[in-house]
Amino acid sequence: MRWTIKPIPEQNQIDSLANALNVDGLVAQLLLQRGITTYAAAKKFFRPQLSDLHDPFLMKDMDLAVDRIEKAIANNENILVFGDYDVDGTTSVALVSSYLLSFYPNVATYIPDRYAEGYGVSLQGIDFAEDNDFTLIIALDCGVKAIDKVAYAKEKNIDFIICDHHRPGQQLPNAIAILDPKREDCNYPYDELCGCGVGFKLIQALGSKYSETIDDLLPYLDLVATAIGADIVPMTGENRILAYHGLKVINSNPRTGFKAIINQTKKTVLTITDVVFIIAPRINAAGRMKHGLHAVNLLVETDLQQAESFAAEIEKFNHDRRELDQEITKEALVQIEGNNEKTGFTTVVYHESWHKGVIGIVASRLTETYYRPTLVFTKSGEKLAASARSVKGFDVYNALQGCTDYIEQFGGHKYAAGLTLLESEYENFKKQFEKVVSETIDPNLLTPEIAIDTKIELRQISPKLMRIIRQFAPFGPGNMTPVFMAENLRDTGYAKGVGQEEKHLKLTVTQNGSLPIGAIGFNLGDKLALVKNNQSFDAVFSLDENEWQGNVSLQLKLRDLR
């Protein structure tokens, strides 16, 4: 691990903000490092207000989208709400379809089959629309690059409204409206929304036509918060407001489908991390293992008994997904070790029988293991399909643009992408991808980095500090959990390996005679020798609470030791 300490703001800035907010210098410094420099900005940060959401009509084409939907309703047209099979896509479809159905009956949903149709707008979906007399398709979390598909629909007199957040290509599809804050010609003030966030802006705009306020739309924010967490978009600006209030909905009055999932867990209060690791994988599992429509059906269901039946089915999908991804990860590791391919700048593996639904998870696991931009390929019909994952600081989407001679199609983000190519081009692509990455990546990025907010003394840690840090939530990119470093720590003599195969490290630490504080290091069991025999060591950690037999105590959640 590379330990890097973030730049420390000027002392006069720290003092000024600390005085304005009546907090200590440590809290002021953490806020400044998150770009919060004034009392007003801090107030917005700690108390995100729905009134600070932007006017949806600032988004390019929003007026055209609303006009077309109003025209469809006036003419009694059939509207098809189309979205991808991942969390962002299925929550978007559940959001827009359930909103429209609350006042207009001629609305249906369509999720492409991951295996038969692949990612994004599909010809089969357009044929389905034609066969069933749909004249308007609202595409969510996809479509901004679907130039040929939208043209195909146009020939059949089917209009498209596209709500996307991926980067557009050189040319835009010939749609009625393209809502995408990443459009070059869109001046919307915040361009980091997820697909479901763009869908929410659409219903916000529609709602304003029916004199609805933001409070009327609150029940939809549980879906938006889930998509924001799962899609790993920045937890800043509008996303933070939507996630903050969406979490409140999840914890106070979640939709029936969420209730059914939460009832299967022992959680009472969910954080954004719980949403990412409990709710999102289950929603995702439907599209990975069976079909994304199972997830949409759960998310729009209003009868608890029926929702619990759907949730049980999805729980099984998730269990099967876990077993498969563990099995394929093992096979991929054997392949890499066997081919002695750990020395390059990239990790690229392929097996024709790997399950297409889990190759993205496997790519993430391989990235954690070897810390290289990673691609996992499998056979998909006549072609090969891959999921790409990257390391922090490296844009894998740009790297794939340097390999387009060998790719049939690709799409995605800086850190995650998908592509297809002909099997005959696999070796050529693999060589080119290695070449592009080796020529463009900073070698430092191939060692995982821990970004440390600041050094602290253990005596600075208190329940009050923990209470304030809790108010920094929800956490995510752009607003990560504060990470601290402390030097010259010693274990009190009880350090031990815990858990299966003693993989984790449990100890109690002091610093220069300070009061002892408990610490847990997940997957740090191999560092036990470092802390034995009263040796001095440095640690990087975040603050955590440990609940044991009804007692809550502060503890350090260790990230690394040296």
Dump pLDDT digits (tens) for 169-220: 899 999 999 999 999 999 999 999 999 999 999 999 999 999 999 999 999 9
CA distance 67 to 209: 10
Query: 507-534 b/e with 16+ CB inside 10 Å = b?
Result: bbbebeeeeebbbbbeebbebbebbeee
**Which of 561, 560, 516 has its CA nearest to residue 535?**
561
Fold of 2-10+450-561: OB fold (Dihydrolipoamide Acetyltransferase, E2P) (2.40.50)
DSSP state of 546: E
The domain over range 56-313 is classified in CATH as 3.90.79.10: no
Q: Cis link prior to 477 (omega < 30° from 0)?
A: no
CA distance 329 to 354: 10
User: 468: Cβ–Cβ under 8 A, 6 or more apart, which residues?
Assistant: 23, 27
* 30-44, 64-78, 287-301, 335-349: least confident range: 335-349
* 52-56, 74-78, 544-548: least confident range: 544-548
CA distance 559 to 521: 7
The SS3 call for residue 561 is strand
**Which of 88, 85, 163, 157 has its CA nearest to residue 122?**
85
Structure tokens belonging to residue 304: 């608890």
The per-residue pLDDT for range 506-561, each reduced to its tens digit, is 999 999 999 999 999 999 999 999 999 999 999 999 999 888 887 888 999 999 99
Whole-angstrom Cα Rg for the chain: 25
- Does residue 287 register a pLDDT over 90? no
- Look at residue 204 in the predicted model and tell me its pLDDT: 98
Angle ∠(261,367,503) on CA atoms, nearest 5: 70
Query: 385-410 b/e with 16+ CB inside 10 Å = b?
Result: bbbbbbbeebbbbebbeebeebbeeb
What value does the mean pLDDT take over residues 162-168? 94
Helix (H) or strand (E) holding 507: strand 504-510
Beta-strand relationship, 159-163 and 449-452: unpaired
**Which of 231, 134, 227, 142 has its CA nearest to residue 178?**
142
How many beta carbons lie within 10 A of that of residue 171, not counting itself?
A: 8
Fold of 339-446: Diaminopimelate Epimerase; Chain A, domain 1 (3.10.310)
Q: Could you tell me the residue ranges of all domains in the chain?
A: 2-10+450-561, 56-313, 339-446
CA distance 533 to 491: 8
> What are the residue ranges of helices labelled H in 156-292?
195-209, 221-230, 237-252, 256-263, 272-274, 280-285
DSSP state of 49: -
- Does residue 418 register a pLDDT over 80? yes
Task: Please provide the average confidence, as pLDDT, over all residues in the chain.
Answer: 94
Beta-strand relationship, 159-163 and 177-179: parallel
Structure tokens belonging to residue 400: 């794939």
The per-residue pLDDT for range 303-333, each reduced to its tens digit, is 999 999 999 999 999 999 999 999 999 999 9
Q: Using an 8 Å Cβ cutoff, are 134 and 106 in contact?
A: no
CA distance 117 to 380: 10
Confidence (pTM): 0.91
Beta-strand relationship, 374-380 and 383-389: antiparallel
Residue 525: what residue type?
A: G
- Look at residue 342 in the predicted model and tell me its pLDDT: 63
- Does residue 340 register a pLDDT over 80? no
| Tokens 């299966």 belong to residue | 500
- Does residue 389 register a pLDDT over 80? yes
CA distance 256 to 262: 10
CA distances from 270 to 249, 266, 276, 281 (A): 11, 10, 10, 15
User: 254: Cβ–Cβ under 8 A, 6 or more apart, which residues?
Assistant: 222, 262
- % of the chain with per-residue pLDDT over 90: 88
- % of the chain with per-residue pLDDT over 70: 99
Band the pLDDT of 117: cuts 50, 70, 90: confident
Domains 2-10+450-561 and 56-313 share a fold: no
Q: Cis link prior to 474 (omega < 30° from 0)?
A: yes
DSSP string, 320-338: HHHHHHHHHHHHHHHHHHH
The SS3 call for residue 454 is strand
Q: Specify burial of residue 320 (Cβ count, 10 A radius: 0-12, 13-18, 19+).
A: middle
- Look at residue 139 in the predicted model and tell me its pLDDT: 98
How many CA atoms lie less than 13 Å away from 548 in the CB half-sphere?
6
The SS3 call for residue 358 is helix
CA distances from 502 to 8, 369, 546 (A): 37, 19, 19
Beta bridge partners of 449: 2
Q: Specify burial of residue 353 (Cβ count, 10 A radius: 0-12, 13-18, 19+).
A: exposed
